[in-house]
């Protein structure tokens, strides 16, 4: 394989690995911009991945799977919402609970249903999303550089990949240009201002939490219906936490979230490619170091050594009317 | 209101706002007791009362922040139900909150539009709001940059944004809650001119304040609240500050503290050119100098938020200072000594302004709160451990000698009443025979009996030769207790007087920042 | 955390957690029903498996040991107003610390090697907690996020070390060689046999005694020392601490060092007591169970011991259950832990508010 081809392959798999991160990261963005901290992204991805795989397997349809994934993720999002918005519970504690609940339930139910150590049977045919070939991609493959990029990196993904990118555009647009977006930005910074303006703080936060559920649902469905073609216990493997890191890195904004997730996806792709590769003079490449990079970078960012990451001011605190 | 008004020509027009029998409780606290109020259209109507008289609660009910337990609200003669701010806005009521309800990282335009966006997309609404801001700017002189980030604006302009929010929403009734607390005198005058213009155009203005000067200067009618009740509504022209003050306070309670003349000893605490800057970099205390001698009480008067809190905390070693010198006895307090713990051991003790946030730890047992700041002391030790017996015994003694009720060292701190909590703090600090005692708001939220007790203790301490610095927003308390008074406004000292040679009027002027020459 | 809802002390310490556990079990029972098993017989099998035999009891207490350590770790941080989610990573590093001593100093006799290994485990755990603590205290970096990141970093670090540096030579399995016998923390049944008391073999080892000692020590530290007073003051009211002249920075760092050290001690039980070698994922989620335990035990050492034993019952009984009812795997325990965290932590207002109202009403009537 030529160097360019190798680059394209890395880039292509980087995009694939970035997609679940991006969904989860945008989910976190919606939730946290409204003032609800969400460390339960991991759990929602996981439960969505399971529900999607199970439903898709049962009904022989990836679309039914997607719907089930989204529904399961929304259900978990609503538990979080009820705990932290209505009951004013601790947002971190609730997030931890969501993660554990998802890890336990998916493996438990998966095992009870399929008896394969928690996995679902492999998904085939209509049960999973197939890559789409964008118009003109086959012809473009012959054109050097631009054509090949189009054919191999831009084209050839399943529909959810394009939905993820659309979600970035939509998130950015809605937050900046719409009434809902304005209110949402406001409620994450100063809920009292929103309340006195005659807008329901509770309603806005529930809406944001549900949107986060939808996005995590799609991210989870992508994992089981596209990337792995089955559900495996704990298949999210920390993606929800990397998404959290990406969210901090992107300073809670949509397009930076896109670029950060892409970068983290690429890092992951590089690490996978370099597994076991011996570079002359260096020895075996420490792939764990590359995989740990997002976490390390986030800590450094949080420490304020490279810029400052300031979360929405009201995030993490329940809204209580002051006397 | 009789219903017969309709056909009978047009006698008196219906009042802009009318409250009938508004009643509200928060648990034990009866915040509003069957309050009646009539506000005429086009008037500037003042509501005065001391802290905690129920003014803010009443206005929060009008604005739909709380719902009254009983009573009726009528707007332009028609009964309305206001269960949420949305309904208040719909009824034409706008509010300028004391603590601004602004979203600081957003622009002025975004803040003005919030809740009145005019459509699902912002673009059209933004154009309209921009035009409206332009119009208000020329009409009332309320110039502002719509694209400025609110958090970057000075306080005066932030208040303007609050006002603009209400006006853009087409409010006919404007409620302003303590609007001048954050303003300079010039800004306040500008605000009052504006309120007059608004009233002349038929808008109704309700001004909540506890500053009588403002009431006299700008209102046409005034209502007085006291302990949740509406005690009087008068034409401003027919009343006087003296009468209003009496109505506010009710029968004058024991503000005469029995005390002889001060016998001054050595200079114990000296403050020279002290400057304190807050975390945002805004100077809070500017170039302040004064001294406190053994055997005297020096009061620091000022409207709350004029640098007194920061002064107190800087003296107690809780805040870094940006400039100037503090001298305790004959020792200059350099950075190495600027630690509450160290200062305490040098005889500077501190009864903080906010006992629930600082002076005590509410979830702790009373005996644990009673050693706050002193837990390292030898007498509470038993080897490497804290001696619980010693702590309990010590607290029991303090509770007895300060008449803290109930005398239960193991009861949770938060279970005591405000007065008993304050006695506990005082006992802790005073019992250590301080050389200098800093006291902040010693009687805030304290019942009458305890106030008397606390005042007597402070005077006794003075007579025993302690140098006391008393920060209080209650002018009466300063006049009653202090031998000398330093007045602060905007972080500066605007005057220093012997209490025997001044009166509340003069101090009030100094507190309002009127310069010494003019006073 | 959110505004306290005042209830009588016994309600706070006993009734609310008990209700939370009942709610968690009811929901778990529904899950069991949903997968087609009988919750009652499942419960019976679980209890019999955990408590019905000497061996089962030994296993139960062995599992509980881990949870006492991590539960205390979370609780100490709670008392300082900090949420240490990093128990998992700190325990992992504790394993590294224990393993380094046990592998490198294995010429030492057991009486020296075992305490040194334990100290090293605590020190490594503490060191891993130090960085997030310092960043929180000095740079204001949110400790929840940094400890999450440190969990991920710890697991990456362990994989790297076991694969590239410390792995058993010539083996594909990701683990170190087996420690020398001197590094072994004695099993309770071994000790009992020496005194002529035969009890069934189980992995229960002296770490359990260490855990109980730590619980007692933590009670003394928190409620009977100046340090504990300072920690609780900072946790309950940072402003009051500032007024008192208690350094928030120092307390945050010290509390997190204690917390990380306690989490690191999991390795004494798992690595030195049972596995006798360092391997991946040996913590098996104990760091997170610690959160459930601390919430349920109301951050009180006594409550934590009780809650840990309950979770030990779940773990051991769950293993037996998975044997008898193959459709209910050990993941049931993770599910229940999640539910306990939900009900005892995030949703506790659900029980507390009505109880507060009920008791307030009764207090007034009396």
Are B311 and B304 contacting, i.e. CB atoms less than 8 angstroms apart? no
B284-324 pLDDT per residue, tens: 999 999 999 999 999 999 877 789 999 999 999 999 999 99
Question: H or E stretch including B205?
Answer: strand B204-209
Q: Which chains touch A (3 or more CB pairs under 8 A)?
A: B, C
Are B136 and B164 contacting, i.e. CB atoms less than 8 angstroms apart? yes
> Where exactly are the structural domains of chain A?
13-126+153-302
Contact C244 B388 (CB under 8 A): no
**pLDDT (mean) for B377-402:** 93
Residue C240 has its nearest CB partner, among B342, B360, B414, at B360
**pLDDT (mean) for B391-418:** 91
Edge-to-edge strand list for the sheet holding B467-471: B348-351, B436-440, B467-471, B297-301, B484-489, B492-498
State the pLDDT confidence band at C363, using cuts at 50, 70 and 90. Answer: very low
Q: Is B110 on the interface with A (CB under 8 A)?
A: yes
Of C170 and B375, the structure prediction assigns the larger pLDDT to B375
CA distance B486 to B345: 27
**pLDDT (mean) for B129-151:** 90
Which class is domain B267-347+434-511? Answer: alpha beta
Q: How close, in Å, is residue C166 to chain A by CA atoms?
A: 14
- Answer left, alpha or beta for residue B207, where phi above 0 means left and psi between -120 and 50 means alpha: beta
Contact A182 B122 (CB under 8 A): yes
Question: H or E stretch including B30?
Answer: strand B29-39
pLDDT score for B518 = 42
Q: Is A174 on the interface with B (CB under 8 A)?
A: no
Least confident interval from A38-42, B206-210, C313-317: B206-210
What tokens appear for C305 in the block?
């011991």
Provide φ and ψ at A218, rounded to 5°. -70, -40
Are C278 and C175 contacting, i.e. CB atoms less than 8 angstroms apart? yes
Residue C352 lies in a domain: no
CA distance B355 to B348: 18
State the pLDDT confidence band at B477, using cuts at 50, 70 and 90. Answer: confident
pLDDT score for B255 = 54
C163 pLDDT more than 90: no
User: Distance of CA B69 to CAs B34, B37, B72, Å?
Assistant: 10, 16, 10
B509 pLDDT more than 60: yes
Contact A299 C333 (CB under 8 A): no
> Side-chain half-sphere of B37: how many Cα atoms within 13 Å?
33
Q: What percent of chain C has pLDDT over 70?
A: 97
Provide φ and ψ at A94, rounded to 5°. -60, -40
Q: Exposed, middle or buried, A154 (CB in 10 Å: 0-12/13-18/19+)?
A: middle
pLDDT score for B428 = 94
Print burial letters for A280-307: b (CB count within 10 Å at least 16), e (below 16): eeeeebbbbebbbbbbbbbbebbbeeee
Which class is domain A13-126+153-302? Answer: mainly alpha
User: Distance of CA B358 to CAs A144, B40, C196, Å?
Assistant: 70, 44, 60
Contact B361 C240 (CB under 8 A): yes
ipTM, two decimals, is 0.91
B67-92 pLDDT per residue, tens: 899 999 999 999 999 998 999 999 99
pLDDT score for B11 = 60
Residue A321 has its nearest CB partner, among B65, B106, B122, at B65
Please report, for the domain that includes residue C62, its CATH number. Answer: 1.10.3470
**pLDDT (mean) for B218-244:** 89
CATH T-level fold of B14-249: Rossmann fold (3.40.50)
State the pLDDT confidence band at B1, using cuts at 50, 70 and 90. Answer: very low
State the pLDDT confidence band at B156, using cuts at 50, 70 and 90. Answer: confident
pLDDT score for A131 = 87
Are A66 and A52 contacting, i.e. CB atoms less than 8 angstroms apart? yes
Q: Exposed, middle or buried, B313 (CB in 10 Å: 0-12/13-18/19+)?
A: buried
B230 pLDDT more than 80: yes
Are A252 and A311 contacting, i.e. CB atoms less than 8 angstroms apart? yes
Are B295 and B466 contacting, i.e. CB atoms less than 8 angstroms apart? yes
Contact B103 A195 (CB under 8 A): no
By C-alpha distance, the chain C residue nearest A116 is C327
pLDDT score for C236 = 94
State the pLDDT confidence band at C1, using cuts at 50, 70 and 90. Answer: very low
Q: What is the mean pLDDT of each run of 10 residues along chain A (323 residues)?
A: 78 93 97 95 97 96 96 98 93 94 94 89 90 85 83 86 96 96 96 92 97 98 94 92 92 95 92 80 78 88 77 83 57
Q: How many CB pairs under 8 A join A and C?
A: 165
State the pLDDT confidence band at C330, using cuts at 50, 70 and 90. Answer: confident
Of B153 and C304, the structure prediction assigns the larger pLDDT to C304
Residue C226 has its nearest CB partner, among B342, B364, B375, at B375
Q: Which chains touch B (3 or more CB pairs under 8 A)?
A: A, C
pLDDT score for B251 = 56
pLDDT score for B51 = 67
pLDDT score for C362 = 57
Q: What is the DSSP string of A144-165?
A: TTHHHIIIIIISS--HHHHHHH
State the average pLDDT for chain B: 88
For CA atoms C297, C302, C307, C312, give the dihedral sign: positive
CA distance B476 to B504: 8
Least confident interval from B265-279, B499-513, C143-157: B499-513
Contact C243 B373 (CB under 8 A): yes
C219 pLDDT more than 60: yes
Print burial letters for B233-257: b (CB count within 10 Å at least 16), e (below 16): bbebeebeeeebbebbeeeeeebeb
Residue C354 lies in a domain: no
Highest mean pLDDT among A243-247, B224-228, B486-490, C69-73 belongs to C69-73
C366 pLDDT more than 70: no
Residue numbers in C near B342 (CB within 8 A): 245
B5 pLDDT more than 50: no
Question: H or E stretch including B273?
Answer: strand B267-277
> Side-chain half-sphere of B167: how many Cα atoms within 13 Å?
24
Q: How far apart are the first and last CA of chain C?
A: 32
pLDDT score for C200 = 92
By C-alpha distance, the chain B residue nearest A179 is B120
The domain total for chain C is 1
State the pLDDT confidence band at B256, using cuts at 50, 70 and 90. Answer: low
pLDDT score for B512 = 67
Give the best residue of C85, C149, C287 to mutate against chain A (max A CB count within 10 A).
C149
B423-450 pLDDT per residue, tens: 999 999 988 889 999 999 998 877 777 8
B46 pLDDT more than 90: yes
Are B68 and B59 contacting, i.e. CB atoms less than 8 angstroms apart? no
pLDDT score for B515 = 52
B277-286 pLDDT per residue, tens: 988 777 899 9
State the pLDDT confidence band at B219, using cuts at 50, 70 and 90. Answer: very high
Contact C327 A112 (CB under 8 A): yes
C278-296 pLDDT per residue, tens: 999 999 889 999 999 999 9
State the pLDDT confidence band at B213, using cuts at 50, 70 and 90. Answer: confident
Q: Which domain holds residue C124?
A: 10-347
Q: Exposed, middle or buried, A232 (CB in 10 Å: 0-12/13-18/19+)?
A: buried
Question: H or E stretch including B24?
Answer: strand B17-26
State the pLDDT confidence band at C297, using cuts at 50, 70 and 90. Answer: very high
């Amino acid at each position: 394989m030529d160097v360019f081809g190798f680059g394209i392959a890395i880039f292509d798999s980087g995009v694939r690995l970035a997609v679940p991160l991006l969904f989860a990261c945008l989910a976190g963005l919606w939730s946290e911009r409204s003032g609800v901290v969400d460390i339960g992204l991991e759990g929602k991805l996981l439960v969505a991945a399971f529900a999607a795989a199970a439903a898709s397997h049962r009904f022989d349809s990836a679309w039914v799977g997607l719907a089930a994934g989204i529904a399961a993720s929304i259900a978990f999002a609503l538990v979080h919402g009820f705990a932290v918005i209505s009951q004013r519970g601790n947002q971190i504690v609730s997030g931890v609970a969501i993660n554990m609940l998802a890890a336990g339930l998916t493996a438990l139910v998966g095992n009870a249903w399929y008896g394969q150590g928690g996995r679902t049977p492999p998904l085939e045919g209509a049960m999973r999303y197939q890559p789409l070939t964008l118009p003109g991609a086959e012809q473009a493959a012959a054109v050097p550089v631009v054509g090949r990029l189009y054919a191999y990196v831009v084209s050839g993904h399943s529909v959810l990949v394009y939905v993820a990118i659309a979600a970035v555009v939509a998130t950015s647009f809605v937050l900046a240009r719409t009434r809902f977006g304005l209110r949402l930005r406001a409620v994450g910074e100063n809920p009292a201002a929103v309340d006195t303006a005659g807008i329901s703080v509770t309603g806005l936060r529930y809406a944001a939490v549900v949107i986060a559920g939808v996005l995590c649902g799609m991210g989870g469905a992508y994992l089981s219906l596209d990337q792995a073609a089955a559900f495996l216990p704990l298949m999210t493997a920390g993606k929800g936490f990397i998404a959290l890191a990406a969210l901090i890195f992107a300073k809670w904004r949509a397009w930076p979230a896109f670029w950060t997730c892409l970068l983290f996806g690429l890092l992951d792709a590089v690490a996978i490619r370099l597994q076991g590769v011996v570079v002359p003079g260096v020895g075996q490449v420490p792939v764990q170091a590359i995989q740990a990079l997002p976490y390390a970078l986030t800590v450094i960012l949080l420490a304020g050594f490279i810029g400052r990451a300031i979360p929405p001011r009201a995030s993490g605190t329940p809204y209580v009317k002051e006397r | 209101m009789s219903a017969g008004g309709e056909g009978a020509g047009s006698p008196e027009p219906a009042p802009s706002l009318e409250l009938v029998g508004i009643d509200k409780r928060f648990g034990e606290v009866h915040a509003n007791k069957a309050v009646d109020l009539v506000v005429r259209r086009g008037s500037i109507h003042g509501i005065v009362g001391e802290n905690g008289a129920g003014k803010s609660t009443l206005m929060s009910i009008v604005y739909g922040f709380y719902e009254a337990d009983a009573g009726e609200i009528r707007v332009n003669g028609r009964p309305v139900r206001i269960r949420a701010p949305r309904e208040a806005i719909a009824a034409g009521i706008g509010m300028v909150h004391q603590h601004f309800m602004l979203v600081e990282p957003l622009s002025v335009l975004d803040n003005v539009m919030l809740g009145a966006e005019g459509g699902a997309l912002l673009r059209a609404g933004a154009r309209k709001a921009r035009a409206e801001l332009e119009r208000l700017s020329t009409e009332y002189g309320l110039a502002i940059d719509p694209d400025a980030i609110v958090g970057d604006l000075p306080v005066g302009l932030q208040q303007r944004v609050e006002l603009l929010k209400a006006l853009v929403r087409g409010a006919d009734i404007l409620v302003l809650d303590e609007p001048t607390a954050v303003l300079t005198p010039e800004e306040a005058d500008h605000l009052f001119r504006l309120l007059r213009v608004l009233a002349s155009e038929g808008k109704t203005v309700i001004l909540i304040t506890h500053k009588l000067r403002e009431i006299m200067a700008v209102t046409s009618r005034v209502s007085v609240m006291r302990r949740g009740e509406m005690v009087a509504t008068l034409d401003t022209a027919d009343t006087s500050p003296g009468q209003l003050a009496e109505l506010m306070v009710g029968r004058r309670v024991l503000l005469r503290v029995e005390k002889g003349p001060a016998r001054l000893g050595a200079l114990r605490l000296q403050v020279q050119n002290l400057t304190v800057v807050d975390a945002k970099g805004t100077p809070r205390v500017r170039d302040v100098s004064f001294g406190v001698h053994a055997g005297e009480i020096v009061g620091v008067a000022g409207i709350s938020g004029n640098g007194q809190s920061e002064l107190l905390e800087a003296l107690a070693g809780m805040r870094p200072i940006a400039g100037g010198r503090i001298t305790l006895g004959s020792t200059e307090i350099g950075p190495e000594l600027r630690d509450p713990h160290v200062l305490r051991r040098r005889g500077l003790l501190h009864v903080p302004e906010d006992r629930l946030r600082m002076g005590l730890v509410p979830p702790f047992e009373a005996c644990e709160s009673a050693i706050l700041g002193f837990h390292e002391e030898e007498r509470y030790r038993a080897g490497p451990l804290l001696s619980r017996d010693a702590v309990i015994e010590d607290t029991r003694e303090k509770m007895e000698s300060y008449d803290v009720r109930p005398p239960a060292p193991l009861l949770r701190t938060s279970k005591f009443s405000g007065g008993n909590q304050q006695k506990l703090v005082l006992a802790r600090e005073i019992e250590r025979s301080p050389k200098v005692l800093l006291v902040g708001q010693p009687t805030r939220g304290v019942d009458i009996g305890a106030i008397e007790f606390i005042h007597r203790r402070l005077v006794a301490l003075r007579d025993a030769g302690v140098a006391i610095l008393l920060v209080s927003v209650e002018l009466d308390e300063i006049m009653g207790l202090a031998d000398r008074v330093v007045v602060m406004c905007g972080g500066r000292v605007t005057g220093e007087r012997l209490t025997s040679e001044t009166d509340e009027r003069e101090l009030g002027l100094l507190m309002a920042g009127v310069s010494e020459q003019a006073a | 955390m959110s505004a306290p809802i005042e209830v009588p002390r016994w309600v706070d310490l006993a009734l609310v957690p008990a209700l939370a556990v009942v709610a968690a079990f009811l929901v778990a029972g529904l899950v069991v029903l949903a997968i087609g098993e009988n919750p009652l017989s499942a419960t019976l099998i679980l209890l019999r498996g955990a408590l019905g035999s000497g061996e089962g009891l030994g296993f139960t207490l062995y599992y509980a040991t881990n949870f006492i350590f991590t539960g205390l770790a979370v609780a100490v941080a709670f008392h300082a107003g900090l949420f240490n989610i990093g128990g998992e990573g700190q325990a992992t590093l504790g394993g590294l610390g224990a393993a380094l001593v046990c592998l490198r100093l294995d010429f030492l006799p057991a009486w020296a090697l075992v305490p040194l290994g334990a100290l090293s485990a605590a020190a490594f755990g503490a060191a891993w907690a130090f960085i997030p603590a310092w960043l929180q205290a000095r740079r204001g970096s949110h400790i929840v996020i940094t400890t999450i990141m440190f969990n991920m970093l710890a697991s990456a670090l362990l994989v790297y070390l076991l694969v590239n540096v410390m792995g058993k030579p010539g083996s594909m399995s990701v683990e170190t060689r087996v420690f020398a016998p001197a590094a072994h923390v004695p099993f309770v049944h071994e000790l009992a046999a020496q005194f002529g008391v035969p009890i069934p073999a189980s992995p229960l080892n002296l770490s359990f005694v260490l855990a109980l000692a730590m619980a007692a020590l933590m009670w003394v530290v928190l409620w009977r020392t100046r340090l504990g007073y300072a920690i609780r003051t900072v946790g309950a009211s940072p402003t009051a601490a500032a007024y008192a002249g208690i350094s928030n920075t120092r307390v945050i760092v010290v509390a997190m060092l204690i917390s990380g050290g306690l989490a690191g001690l999991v390795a004494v039980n798992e690595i030195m007591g049972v596995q006798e070698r360092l391997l991946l994922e040996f913590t098996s989620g104990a760091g997170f169970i610690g959160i459930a335990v601390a919430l349920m035990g109301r951050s009180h050492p006594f409550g934590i011991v009780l809650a840990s034993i309950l979770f030990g019952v779940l773990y051991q009984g769950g293993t037996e259950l998975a044997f008898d009812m193959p459709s209910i795997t050990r993941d049931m325990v993770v599910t229940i832990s999640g539910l306990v965290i939900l009900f005892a932590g995030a949703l506790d207002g659900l029980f507390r508010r009505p109880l507060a109202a009920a008791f307030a009403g009764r207090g007034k009537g009396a």
